[in-house]
Amino acid sequence: MKHGSRPQAFAALLAIAGLGLSPGTGAAQQTFSESTNVVAVEVPVQVVKDGEPVRGLKASDFEVYDGRKKVNISGFEVLDLDAPAPAGQAAAQVPVAARRHFLMMFDLSFSEPKSIVKARQAAQKVVDGLHPTDLVGVATYSSLQGPQLVLGFTPDRRQIATALDTLGLPKLVDRSGDPLRLVLSDALKSAQGPHAAAGRLSEDVRTGKDAEVIETLNTLATQSDRAERSAQQQMVRNLTRSFSDLARLMGEVEGRKYVVYLSEGFDSTLISGTLNSRGAGSGSGSQSDIGEPQAVTNDYNDNSRIIGSTGGTGSDAQFGDTRSQNAVEKMLEEFRRADCVIQAVDIGGLRAGADIAGQRGSGREALFNMAKSTGGELYENFNDLSSAMGQMLRRTGVTYVLAFQPDDLKLDGSYRKLRVEVKNAPRGARVVFRPGYYAPRPFKEQSPLQRLLEAASDVMGQDGSGGITTSVLAAPFPAANNRANVPVVVEVDGPTLLAGKQDPKLPVEIYVYALDANGAVQDFITQVFGLDLTKTEPVLRQAGMKFFGNLDLPPGKYTIRTLVRNGTTGNSSLRISELEVPAFGQGAALMLPAVFQDPAPGRWVNLRQAKKEGQGEPPYLFMLKDQPYVPVVRPALVAGQDARVILQGFNLGEGDWKAEAKVVGADGKEVPGGALQLGEKEAGGAGKPTRMVATFRPPSLPPGNYQLRVTLTNGAGKSETSTAHFSVAGAAGARGSR
């Protein structure tokens, strides 16, 4: 859902980060829009016939009803996971509502620890079988701690593998300080050894750890079969309350959502009673031997339940516990409202018979009920989950994303039902769609968990319009161990940052993540500043805020994702930029981005990244003749007025260089005019770039955003090109982010 001038939210992550739910606890141009009341609702739709997705449908084939009212479809996109991706398209650039999110939830209370050990391996096989665009999170549940997030939704398969390997090994998972839980501890890098590329722990670390895992899990797991019946029923109610909260958070996630619930389940007679129990074989085919896949499939839109109703005047043991039944039904209704499917995995069969210290009561019926009631499936008695889940993955491979704008929506968090009809689908096809949506709430009324979820979603989102104007510069400089020190400069336009009613103290949140070509997070910056507006507002309104940070990256191609958010209003903007870090030791010529020198750096509120624990202050790399200067990422230039530009590069060679400048408009077309004059030159070497100072005189241009392309050519005809961005004031378009 897109609200106001916020960027389209991609729910890449589940940010119940660091705030565990205890039981019962509730790269394109951007433009600025003044709109604050527009809400766009996106509806993912899948059409399935005979277990296969139906392709080739158009927007005119669909009808959407918001409640009883038919609405106009204002947006239409199609994601086909089997279709070849356009060249250079990253995983995070697919439509938000079409992405699949899998939360691997390990139940520590209703499972034997040795089952959990085996389930980690089964879960890794599921991850290995997913599409590269799928996002995966890892979490645990226990009656003592409630749901705890190990890793947020991420495309980073290395982080996922590490999270699964270290599940139950808290000494290895020392938090990296990432509030959005994209990154595990930096200490894990040394533990990964030669397996770091795959994200798996090295064999010497993994060997002998299973016993430690079991010991740790035994301290968390509550042996329900040893508790009194009333205590077991209370454990079930604790689970339902915690999972209801989890479902409501999942409701904030855009896209297709699945909780892969790895558990042995609770004894269903605790709630249905012995006389109402349908038995472990209810509603399914025959049992299979251990190691053979068995999936109990359900109609995808069938929300029927199998909880037996109470009756008679006997005890709860005979006729069931009405209170627990109601709690379970309320939980399942929350998952249906959230459009979140539970894929239940009975992990009891993953233990060898000799390992079973005491046989639990069968939890199969409870697991089947959770899956059946949310449109999922029960998987049992097998080791290869990825093969057994193949049918579900195939039928969800094509998603049609329909968008509409409700015209009478109150921003009160209320739930509204949806209905989708297809006019030209093949006979016998089933239509799968979200049953409803929640109206957004004002940012101040959102819980801390919702705010983290929103930030996490936006960070992994798609470059789009945003209410705050930002510009980002990132440039690689050689560092030790064939890595690069990458200074990052984030400019934040003050007037757009201050839009809306503000408190005297303004919290400004900055998130910068560097993702490699595989979607793995290589480094990140997160910072929250509290600005005293009684002192800083005049400076902010004159220009804005400038943030300086540093990333440490190995050679490779990266996507730098930068999110800036007003912590009072929730207004934010995401900027996605591309960066290539070369292997500096190979001696290839490299031009860094051209940088305009700020003629009045004191007009900004200048802020610097806090030092990371155990590390020194990173060097300041914007230097001329050993003197620092302040860059401006996107200056507002005036026709005929000179601006100073710093050109810098490595291995450029000796000799005289000639410069040619071109101005390119936002439409990619060259604009005639403009002059560039080279000035003083500073020789490089020993890790220092060659620097040249140039003077640029822009031509007369209409208001808007532009790119300056500078080509340097030496006497031998060798040329290198560098670019910089600038704007011409006079219209809102000139405030667009870069």
- Residue-wise pLDDT for 241-288, tens only, equals 999 989 988 887 878 899 999 999 888 887 765 544 444 333 333 333
Pairing of the two strands 69-71 and 62-66: antiparallel
Residue-level pLDDT at 618: 83
**Tokens coding 418:** 């949806």
Residue 394 token pair: 């195939």
Written as six digits, the tokens of 23 are 């039981």
For residue 310, what pLDDT band results from cuts at 50, 70 and 90? very low
Residue 83: DSSP 8-state? S
What pLDDT is attached to residue 147? 87
pLDDT of residue 95 exceeding 60 = yes
Work out the average pLDDT over 189-212. 47
pTM over the 0.85 mark: no
- Name every residue whose Cβ is closer than 8 Å to that of residue 733 and which is 6 or more positions away in sequence: 31, 666, 703, 704, 705
3-state SS, residue 287 = coil
**pLDDT level of residue 393 (50, 70, 90 thresholds):** confident
Calpha distance 41→39 (Å, rounded): 6
Mean pLDDT of all residues belonging to the chain: 77
- What share of the chain has pLDDT > 90, as a percent? 33
In the chain, what is the straight-line distance between the N-terminal and C-terminal CA atoms, in Å?
24
pLDDT at 96: 65
Q: pLDDT band for 390, please (50, 70, 90 cuts).
A: confident
Whether residue 556 is predicted with pLDDT greater than 90 in this model: the reply is: yes
pLDDT in tens, 667-721: 889 998 888 999 888 887 777 888 999 999 998 899 989 999 999 887 677 888 9
Q: What's the mean pLDDT in 14-27? A: 32
Largest CA distance in the chain: 100
| pLDDT tens for each residue of 414-464 | 888 999 999 988 889 999 888 888 888 888 888 787 788 778 778 877 766
Please give the distance of CA 601 from its chain centroid, rounded to a whole number: 35
DSSP state of 325: H
Question: Structural domains in the chain?
Answer: 100-395 (3.40.50.410), 463-735 (2.60.40.10)
CA atoms 293, 299, 301, 302: torsion sign: negative
Conformational region of residue 636, where left means phi above 0, alpha means psi within -120 to 50, and beta covers everything else? beta
CA-CA distance, 738 to 736, in Å (whole number)? 7
CB 173 within 8 A of CB 192: no
Continuous segment of H or E residues that includes residue 724: strand 719-728
Orientation of helix 113-128 relative to helix 209-220, angle to 10°: 110
Return the structure tokens found at 86.
């356009």
- Reported confidence tier of residue 381, pLDDT bands at 50, 70, 90: low
- Those residues whose C-beta lies under 8 Å from the C-beta of residue 118, and which sit 6 or more positions away, are 347, 350, 351, 383
Contact 140, 120 (CB under 8 A): no
pLDDT digits (tens, 9 = 90+) for 545-555: 999 999 999 99
CA distance linking residue 106 with residue 438, whole number of Å: 28
Cα 471 to the center of its chain, rounded Å? 21
